[in-house]
Amino acid sequence: MASKLEALQRWVDEVAALTRPAHIHWCDGSDAEYQQLVQQMLQTGDLIELNQQTHPGCYLHRSNPSDVARVEHLTFVCTKDEEDAGPNNHWMAPTEAHAKIDALFDGCMEGRTLYVIPYCMGPIDSPLARCGVEITDSPYVVANMRTMTRMGAAAMARIEREGTFVKGLHSTGELDPERRFIMHFPEELTIKSYGSGYGGNALLGKKCHALRIASWQAKSEGWLAEHMLIVGIENPQGETHYVAAAFPSACGKTNLAMLIPPEGYRKDGWKVWTVGDDICWMRPGADGRLYAINPEAGFFGVAPGTSDNSNPNALASIARDTIFTNVAVTADNQPWWEGLPGTPVTDWQGRPYDAANGPAAHPNSRFTVSAKQCPTWSPKAEDAQGVPISAIVFGGRRPSLVPLVFEARDWAHGVLVGAAMGSETTAAATGAVGVLRRDSMAMKPFCGYHYGDYFKHWLSFDQAGAKLPKIFHVNWFRKGKDGKFLWPGFGDNLRVLEWMIARVKGEAEGQVTPIGTLPAKGELRLDGLDLNAATLEELLEVDHSGWQAELDAIGDYLHSFGARMPKQLHDEQQRVAKALAAAEPRREAVAS
């Protein structure tokens, strides 16, 4: 790597002068480098070797107990104009933010190694991909970034060729929660993160670059950076339709990305292909369709709940060459979490397991693994042009009101559906249970600019000649009066995706309602499913008065973003509200 780009070399020198490391190491992404890092971390105790007979190449990392999740209240978007960051972000003026965090970086790498990580988000030859460089003092971050991105010599060559890259500076610091910040400077394409070693705060290619900074880049360059899975559905005729889907956390994104078709579908020849489970970058192609890449090369998945029942493909992916973070361990040194068979002996903090201390594995414990290890991994994930998207799906956890599936009337209505989407809180989160939290496009923690501008950007794709995907909304979580889920979910969700694809191909009539088009009678394939007609009717019911109240709440939500909210979205909300009012079944006066 002789000819390091001058701008990059200058920045590395500046950071070294500020942080004063003992050594500087430029990462090349090689196997030998990775093995050397692993050996070093085994010696320092940063990694613990797991059972190499059952889990070859697998290691455990235990993070500081105060450092186990993203810290949204310490995450800032630092734009010159506060209004550009929007009410959906915490804002700090760039000069103040740089001064505050640089004071923390001062001398923070003394006695440590400064690692320079050149990386590419997306296939290395893709015009849709974007490069970055992360400087860190954490070998754990280097090892994870190697799995999660295209890291090393090939990325460095592209950076030298293009001359541009996103700058990310990270130090674990003292891991003091009182000295912790994650700062984004979208106008400077810069990220600064201090005081955390946790994935989303420390692996800067992930949420920081691939969503917060990339969403800003996408706005200015005419594409979309989204918190979406990408899955390919191949029918028995050999046609594959690609679907991008956005759900808030705990709504089954990874499960949908790695879906296993029901037995009858498998026999008929249906296949599911995993392109990505978390992030999707889309841009219009020459033919007017949206093409998508997964900017990541790996999965940074939540371990608890991943089991042979819920997601056998994810479980198969992590049987080797995986870094586990904050999981428990069994007597024979295998990784363990709630949902797996067996018994833990040591919890995520390394203590002897005692149920009185809470779950054995941290609820946000993780695995980092190459996407290529997934049994359903699609070779199209390496396609430089991306895959054409047939449908975009929004969804959340709604125990009532929202039907199993409906299709938006057009693009503008689809943007409203995405903007309005939300989930009811579960017992997993602190605070009240059953409260509806809006999380537009599942981007609330990740949109790097004002939500009003973001919705306007989405609306701008509806242009002459555009062949945009159809937009749908799903709800796998509707409950009956007994409090039980009405829909079986998991693999059976393919039945809903099959109907969507039929709609895309013009092969399903559907039933038009004021909120959108629902499956008409007989259009959902239900063979092999124990679902009676009354349950299906409840799953597809449109409660007019309930929806009128919902539309009023959506109107209030849109108004909360002020003058930057596009008028077109307000108009769309009014159109649906009027359609509901006009269609409400007239109640006949009943004589007493």
Residues contributing to the annotated binding site: 70, 198-200, 207, 227, 249-255, 278, 364-366, 397, 490-493
Q: Which residues pair with 284 in a beta bridge?
A: 290
Considering all CA atoms of the chain, what is the largest pairwise distance in Å, rounded to the nearest integer? 91
Please, what sign has the CA dihedral across residues 393, 398, 400, 401? Answer: negative
Exposure string over 453-468, b if 16+ CB within 10 A, otherwise e: bbbbbbbebeeeeeeb
CA 558, 560, 561, 564: dihedral to nearest 10 degrees?
80
The burial class, CB within 10 Å (0-12 / 13-18 / 19+), for 238 is exposed
User: Using CA atoms, how far apart are residues 432 and 377, in angstroms rounded to an integer?
Assistant: 38
Question: Is the separation of the CB atoms in 542 and 585 below 8 Å?
Answer: no
User: Using CA atoms, how far apart are residues 381 and 230, in angstroms rounded to an integer?
Assistant: 9
Task: Centre a 10 Å sphere on the Cβ of residue 95 and count the other Cβ atoms it contains.
Answer: 10
Active site residue 208: no
Question: Which listed residue (27, 208, 251, 280) is catalytic?
Answer: 251
Question: Is the separation of the CB atoms in 122 and 6 below 8 Å?
Answer: no
User: Using CA atoms, how far apart are residues 429 and 420, in angstroms rounded to an integer?
Assistant: 21
For residue 235, the number of C-alpha atoms closer than 13 Å in the C-beta half-sphere is 12
Task: Centre a 10 Å sphere on the Cβ of residue 480 and count the other Cβ atoms it contains.
Answer: 14
Q: Starting from the edge strand earliest in sequence, which strands make up the sheet with 323-325, in order?
A: 48-49, 59-61, 323-325, 366-370, 298-302
Q: Which helix (H) or strand (E) holds 127?
A: none
Cα dist from 350 to 49, 204, 344, whole Å: 13, 27, 11
Q: Which residues pair with 432 in a beta bridge?
A: none
Close Cβ partners of 300 (under 8 Å, ≥ 6 residues apart): 144, 148, 199, 203, 206, 278, 366, 367, 368
Task: Centre a 10 Å sphere on the Cβ of residue 236 and count the other Cβ atoms it contains.
Answer: 11
Q: Which residue has the tokens 């004071």?
A: 103
Q: Which of 407, 394, 219, 381 is nearest to 292 (CA)?
A: 381
User: Using CA atoms, how far apart are residues 212 and 198, in angstroms rounded to an integer?
Assistant: 17
Residues making up the annotated binding site for substrate are 70, 198-200, 249, 364-366
User: Using CA atoms, how far apart are residues 321 and 205, in angstroms rounded to an integer?
Assistant: 20
Rounded to 5°, the CA angle 548-552-555 comes to 135
User: Using CA atoms, how far apart are residues 498 and 535, in angstroms rounded to an integer?
Assistant: 20
Question: Is the separation of the CB atoms in 322 and 367 below 8 Å?
Answer: yes
Q: Which helix (H) or strand (E) holds 244?
A: strand 240-246
Residues with active-site annotation? 251
